[in-house]
Structures are given as structure tokens and as C-alpha cells.
Amino acid sequence: MTSKGILEHERRFQAIAEAHGNTRAAGTPGYRESREYVAERLRRADYSVRVQSFEFSFFRVLAPLEIADKMSELGIAPRNRVRFAFWGAEELAAGRASADNA
């Protein structure tokens, strides 16, 4: 392992992220491409690769950004500040995501 080799992989992962909305988060196309990149590199090194699917809790906040965008669009400027708060039950409502092998 060399610093040049590590930098090569870091650059590849960054390029993957940039090609997919600056993310490689699990369940996204950036994740899938990253997974395939790693699997292919391991195969080239004569490893036997098996991709397994698993579920995990996943929560992504969208509503506050939409609210903030709408406030800006409508010219609403809060006098002090706007505070967004979240509770654990929202994670349950968000459901589960799958890091699949698709």
C-alpha cells in the first residue's frame, strides 16, 4: 500500500460522489457505484467477492429545507430565528432503507 495508491482510490471515490449529487450514501446510486468499484478492485486482486444485502435504519430530513426555501421564496424573514426540532418517532415514520446488491 502506498500513498499514491490511497490517493488514487480517494480521487475515484470523490469522482463517484460528484457524479451522483455529491453523495455516496448507502442506498444511493453513488453508493452502488462505489460498491462496484471496490468489488472490481478486489476481484482484480483475486479475491472472491460476494455482495450481501442488509437493512438499516435510514432517516433524511427534507421538510425543513423545503420550508426554508419557501420562506425565502415568499420573502419571509423571521424576526429572530427559525428553529427546527426532531424527535425519535420521526425516524420510525421514515422507515427502513436497504443496502441491496442491485
Task: Report the C-alpha gap between 66 and 26 in whole angstroms.
Answer: 23
Give yes or no for residue 13 having a pLDDT over 60. Answer: yes
Give yes or no for residue 21 having a pLDDT over 80. Answer: yes
Query: Would you state the pLDDT for residue 55?
Result: 82
Task: Report the C-alpha gap between 12 and 1 in whole angstroms.
Answer: 16
Give yes or no for residue 82 having a pLDDT over 50. Answer: yes
Q: What is the mean pLDDT of residues 68-93?
A: 70
Query: Would you state the pLDDT for residue 92?
Result: 44
Query: Would you state the pLDDT for residue 90?
Result: 44
Q: What is the mean pLDDT of residues 48-72?
A: 79
Do residues 67 and 78 make contact, with C-beta atoms less than 8 angstroms apart?
no
Quote the DSSP letter at residue 24.
-
Cβ of 91: how many Cβ atoms within 10 Å?
Answer: 13
